Structure 1
């Protein structure tokens, strides 16, 4: 079973690791998402988001989770897991760990909101298992489904007491 060590992105070295990881894999978000797009995104979001980094047993960065908190809502900006580790079980366990972390650090959170490209049927199906699709917005690379889940519903799905 994969166990990754989570840490906050706080030092310059952390941001450098995160930026390299993000830039090297930016096309995994969308085939039209190029390095310049990735760098512009990072410049515009780094100062207003929290970033969790996940390292494997050898200290290699294998995932990140970027989010921001406004009032009682956590907005998931982006997240990525190295392709080698992707599976439904790893998604579930990783999301459970991240949810625990966010809810422990931000006790006022009542809602989590996130997005998926409307033409990404896999993510739409996956997110619909535990969140409500509340609308559609125009994103940088096409229409994005908006998903919202209440804290109680998320805790129940993730089996967190």
Structure 2
């Protein structure tokens, strides 16, 4: 776990960790994720919430095992189509607290494919009588644009 460590960058050597299934990068100072992260073929969950990310590398779209991508409280204004389309197992995407509204996410190239997978997963849970503990159907982004969580001096 690398959460809460004031990390500013990940080394390119992360590509060698092909058996890694979960990567927790929450609450650091990452401004970017390395393109090499797209080579971590076993990655199923990536939590990069509460960082300073402004964009995602398109190479993340090669992560076909990725099921969960948590990116809350960053500076993201979009998600590359390669990620929405290429991550064929992705069913949970959380972008709350970014300057990206749900309308913008819905209009993004590749959202239709992602949403079909997400809805199919939720339909399966409902059919099996498994419900979301939050009591709602979360689409993954806020209704309105939200101010960055970072202090004003760091924006």
TM-score (ref. length: structure 1): 0.30
More strand as a share of residues:
1
More helix as a share of residues:
1
TM-score (ref. length: structure 2): 0.30
